[in-house]
């Protein structure tokens, strides 16, 4: 090998590895710009709107209010969405709960879905209060509160703030299982905004792909659909503003942890999730903390169900394994 070829060999190897990495990344699909208010995003049921005034701003909160299918059982279930979603991903659980006789209420929290995208100091107290204002508007005095991911944190906060309303609580694959404020200093909000603003199809997909990190084969058309929806927002002329909203929301687990809320939940509580969720750092950490949450519910009112082989969104990955324990608990 000549001296020139020896010098160029590492470069060729680097280029080859880079090319292989690029080939492994999914190509950017042909996606049209999407409204940050999700006008064109399919929802499982029609949306209505509740006017709210928050931090001096006139806002509106979108929600679905779906009656029971068949014989009503006289009870209501409230579904609280995760950080990367909104009411649009609850179609399966809505149908299952309706068939069990529940009226189902599904709010889009402010900053999400079809609700207003306000530049405000986001926190779980406001989200819980807005949810309670919606239930009051609908004449609902008692409800089963079911929260997924970020919604699991909100379900805990709602249950502590409105114990007379929350008759049962389901904390479903929550984030915020540990208090990260003491693990690292407060990160730069401007740098976080720059990263959000620069989102690509590949980074959006990678964010959702974490939910099936335990089994990449579990990635399905539904996960891909929501990747395309989230990516479509980045193509909108409103994206620079909505990127600020998303950046503020992403600070929630750091700014407003709920680890001290669990011990103040008075309602019977199901702590349920796919056992292989790696969002807290590893599946082992997730399982240990889920057991701790259930043990923290006073009066022996906490119960934990961990579904083996499943990740962060069981109702999308393995609904046939998720629905039976959920229905068994809420139907009591």
**Relative orientation angle of helices 221-234 and 201-209, to the nearest 10 degrees:** 140
Q: Does residue 4 lie within any of the structural domains?
A: no
What the block records as the tokens of 3 is: 């001296």
Q: Which helix (H) or strand (E) holds 57?
A: strand 57-66
Q: What is the pLDDT of residue 27?
A: 86
Read off the pLDDT of residues 141-189 as tens digits, 9 standing for 90 and up. 999 999 999 999 999 999 999 999 999 999 999 999 999 998 889 999 9
For residue 90, the SS3 value is coil
Q: What is the pLDDT of residue 183?
A: 86
C-beta of residue 284 within 8 angstroms of C-beta of residue 177: no
Q: Does residue 304 lie within any of the structural domains?
A: yes
CATH number, domain with residue 80 = 3.40.50.1820
Count of domains observed in the chain: 1
Q: What is the pLDDT of residue 177?
A: 98
C-beta of residue 226 within 8 angstroms of C-beta of residue 89: yes
Q: What is the pLDDT of residue 93?
A: 98
Helices marked H in the chain — which ranges? 3-24, 91-99, 124-137, 150-161, 189-197, 201-209, 221-234, 239-250, 252-255, 283-296, 314-317, 319-330
| Complete edge-to-edge strand list for the sheet that includes strand 166-172 | 48-54, 57-66, 103-107, 76-80, 143-148, 166-172, 269-274, 302-307
Q: Does residue 23 lie within any of the structural domains?
A: no
Read off the pLDDT of residues 269-307 as tens digits, 9 standing for 90 and up. 999 999 999 999 999 999 999 999 999 999 999 999 999
Q: What is the pLDDT of residue 70?
A: 84
Q: Could you give the C-alpha distances from 132 to 129, 147, 314, in angstroms and in order?
A: 5, 14, 27
What average pLDDT values come out for the chain (332 residues) when binned by 10 residues?
A: 37 37 66 96 98 98 96 98 98 98 98 98 98 98 98 98 98 96 91 98 97 97 97 98 98 96 98 98 98 98 98 98 98 88
Q: Does residue 211 lie within any of the structural domains?
A: no
This prediction's pTM: 0.92
Task: Note down the domain range covering 153.
Answer: 48-184+256-330
DSSP classification of residue 322: H
Q: Rounded to whole angstroms, how far apart are CA atoms 143 and 94? A: 15
Q: Does residue 224 lie within any of the structural domains?
A: no
Q: Which helix (H) or strand (E) holds 76?
A: strand 76-80
Q: Does residue 127 lie within any of the structural domains?
A: yes
Q: Does residue 148 lie within any of the structural domains?
A: yes
Q: Does residue 107 lie within any of the structural domains?
A: yes
Tokens 């990747």 locate to: 227
């Amino acid at each position: 090998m000549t001296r020139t070829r020896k010098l160029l060999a590492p470069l060729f190897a680097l280029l080859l590895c880079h090319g292989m990495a690029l080939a492994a990344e999914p190509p950017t699909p042909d996606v049209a710009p999407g409204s940050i208010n999700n006008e064109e995003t399919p929802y499982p049921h029609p949306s209505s709107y509740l006017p709210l005034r928050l931090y001096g701003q006139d806002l509106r909160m979108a929600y679905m209010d779906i009656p029971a299918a068949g014989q009503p059982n006289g009870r209501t279930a409230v579904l609280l969405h995760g950080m990367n979603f909104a009411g649009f991903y609850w179609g399966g659980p809505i149908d299952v709960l309706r068939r069990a006789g529940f009226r189902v209420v599904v709010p889009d929290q402010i900053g999400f879905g079809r609700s207003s995208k306000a530049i405000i100091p986001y926190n779980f107290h406001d989200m819980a209060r807005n949810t309670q204002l919606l239930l009051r508007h609908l004449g609902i005095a008692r409800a089963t509160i079911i929260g997924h991911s970020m919604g699991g944190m909100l379900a805990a906060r709602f249950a502590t703030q409105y114990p007379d309303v929350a008759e049962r609580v389901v904390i479903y694959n929550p984030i915020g299982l540990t208090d990260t404020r003491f693990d690292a200093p407060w990160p730069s909000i401007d740098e976080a905004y720059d990263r959000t603003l620069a989102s690509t199809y590949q980074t959006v997909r990678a964010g959702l792909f974490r939910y099936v990190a335990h089994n990449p084969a579990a990635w399905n058309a539904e996960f891909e659909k929501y990747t395309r929806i989230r990516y479509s927002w980045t193509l909108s002329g409103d994206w620079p503003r909505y990127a600020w909203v998303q950046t503020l929301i992403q600070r929630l687990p750091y700014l407003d942890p709920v680890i001290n809320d669990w011990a103040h939940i008075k309602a019977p509580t199901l702590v349920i999730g796919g056992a292989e969720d790696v969002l807290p750092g590893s599946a082992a950490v997730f399982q240990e903390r889920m057991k701790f949450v259930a043990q923290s519910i006073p009066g022996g009112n906490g119960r934990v169900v961990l579904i083996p082989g499943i990740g962060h969104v069981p109702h999308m990955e393995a609904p046939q394994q998720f629905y039976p324990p959920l229905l068994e608990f809420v139907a009591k």
